[in-house]
Amino acid sequence: MTSTTARRVLLAAPRGYCAGVDRAVIAVEKALEQYGAPIYVRHEIVHNKYVVQTLEKKGAIFVDETDEVPEGSIVMFSAHGVAPTVHEEAERRKLATIDATCPLVTKVHKEAVRFAKEDYDILLIGHEGHEEVIGTSGEAPDHITLVDGPEDVDNVTVRDESKVVWLSQTTLSVDETMETVDRLKQRFPALVSPPSDDICYATQNRQNAVKLMGAEADLVIVVGSQNSSNSKRLVEVALGAGAKAAYLVDFASEIDEAWLTDEVRTVGVTSGASVPEVLVEEVLEWLAGRGFTDVELVKAAEESITFSLPKELRRDLRAEAARKAAG
Ligand code: SF4
């Protein structure tokens, strides 16, 4: 590198924690305080290594399935949602459950149930194997067909072309999803759209901010984990918006010095919806140490949405507060 004068960082806003992730992480922390360790959590509460490791240290135990949870224990379901069969299995095993499914995922589950009741064929746009897709599909397995991107559209078959609706995973690329919908509409002109967007506000806002910075950025660093769908989409959106390079890192220590060639003058920084701000701060420090001290905010939206804690937890926290007040 030759000069430090023209180096700058474009910092996306909004970035990082969304309301659903914030709620899920606080739910585990509050549950640990209220009931004591261990609290079992089915699957990663949110798709972020740092968050999972931090909660493990506090006493959370992450399991793949409810049959790994000892009978009578407390199990929390992750923000991505679960199929009804998982609730049934937990009940059979006499587990106390706390459901931290994001309310915006629950909204999609309810849409699936409603359209299945009306006997629609439901085309669920999403990534095969993603936990959210497995959970949503489980609401109406006989009615739901997964459509994994535009190239999957030609494989879709339905029972009645006049009664088809599309829904989607909450964390997809907005543009790619609309391309999939357009192709589906060409095949099924009567295709019905969901009553409101399934791709959530947080996913859309983070992608919009990256679009604003993408064209100006020589390099975009997205902080997030490899299994985080919305974080991976941010890398794709950055490249689509014109960034010369974009990479996903869990931690600042994963940034490769070789990415900062002499030509790199503007670095975009953002983070997925499951990423705590401390990890972004570490990336900014890493960049500052290499001459990128000038940080400009690139703002796409204001966010003020919050969700209340899962109802089972709220009930027990209220009861505990009342007990304490009584004496
Ligand atoms: S990314 Fe969206 S759907 Fe997922 S937890 Fe956050 S707010 Fe909820």
Provide the b/e sequence for 190-220 (b: ≥16 CB within 10 Å). ebbebeebbbbbbbebbbbbbbbbbebbbbb
pLDDT of residue 100: 97
**DSSP β-bridge partners for residue 195:** none
- Please report where in the chains the tokens 């609290």 appear, as a residue: 39
- The verdict on the CB of residue 98 being under 6 Å from ligand 1 is no
pLDDT of residue 207: 97
The tens digit of pLDDT for each residue in 146-169 reads: 999 999 999 999 999 999 999 999
pLDDT of residue 316: 95
Cα torsion 156, 116, 67, 171: sign: positive
Closest listed residue to residue 280, CA positions, set 4, 98, 15: 15
Residue 118 pLDDT > 70, yes or no?
A: yes
Whether the Cβ atoms of residue 68 and residue 78 lie closer than 8 Å to each other: no
How many Å apart are CA 246 and CA 121, to the nearest integer? 38
DSSP character string of 140-165: STTTEEEE-SGGGGGG---S-TTSEE
- Please report where in the chains the tokens 């829904």 appear, as a residue: 167
- The verdict on the CB of residue 230 being under 6 Å from ligand 1 is yes
The tens digit of pLDDT for each residue in 207-246 reads: 999 999 999 999 999 999 999 999 999 999 999 999 999 9
Percent pLDDT > 90 in the chain is 98
The mean pLDDT of 64-86, rounded to a whole number, is: 96
Report helix, strand or coil for 278.
helix
The best mutation among 104, 108, 111, 305 to test binding of ligand 1, ranked by most ligand atoms within 8 Å of the C-beta, falls on 104
Whether the Cβ atoms of residue 113 and residue 139 lie closer than 8 Å to each other: yes
The tens digit of pLDDT for each residue in 268-309 reads: 999 999 999 999 999 999 999 999 999 999 999 999 999 999
Percent pLDDT > 70 in the chain is 98
- The verdict on the CB of residue 25 being under 6 Å from ligand 1 is no
pLDDT of residue 5: 54
Q: Is 132 a catalytic residue?
A: yes
Mean pLDDT, the chain, whole residue set: 96
Band of residue 327 on the pLDDT scale cut at 50, 70, 90:
confident
Whether the Cβ atoms of residue 213 and residue 195 lie closer than 8 Å to each other: no
Q: How far is the CA of 19 from the centre of ligand 1 (A)?
A: 7
Q: If you ran DSSP here, which 8-state letter would residue 70 be given? A: P
pLDDT of residue 3: 46
Nearest atom in ligand 1 to the alpha carbon of residue 19 is: 7
Nearest atom in ligand 1 to the alpha carbon of residue 305 is: 7
- Compute CA 88 distance to the chain's CA centroid, rounded to the nearest angstrom: 25
Degrees, nearest 5: CA angle 116-100-316? 120
Residue 89 pLDDT > 80, yes or no?
A: yes
pLDDT of residue 138: 98
Both tokens of 71, joined, read 């009978």
Band of residue 202 on the pLDDT scale cut at 50, 70, 90:
very high
The best mutation among 28, 43, 171 to test binding of ligand 1, ranked by most ligand atoms within 8 Å of the C-beta, falls on 171
pLDDT of residue 1: 44
Residue 4 pLDDT > 70, yes or no?
A: no
Q: How far is the CA of 274 from the centre of ligand 1 (A)?
A: 9
Band of residue 2 on the pLDDT scale cut at 50, 70, 90:
very low
For the full predicted model, state whether its pTM sits above 0.85.
Answer: yes
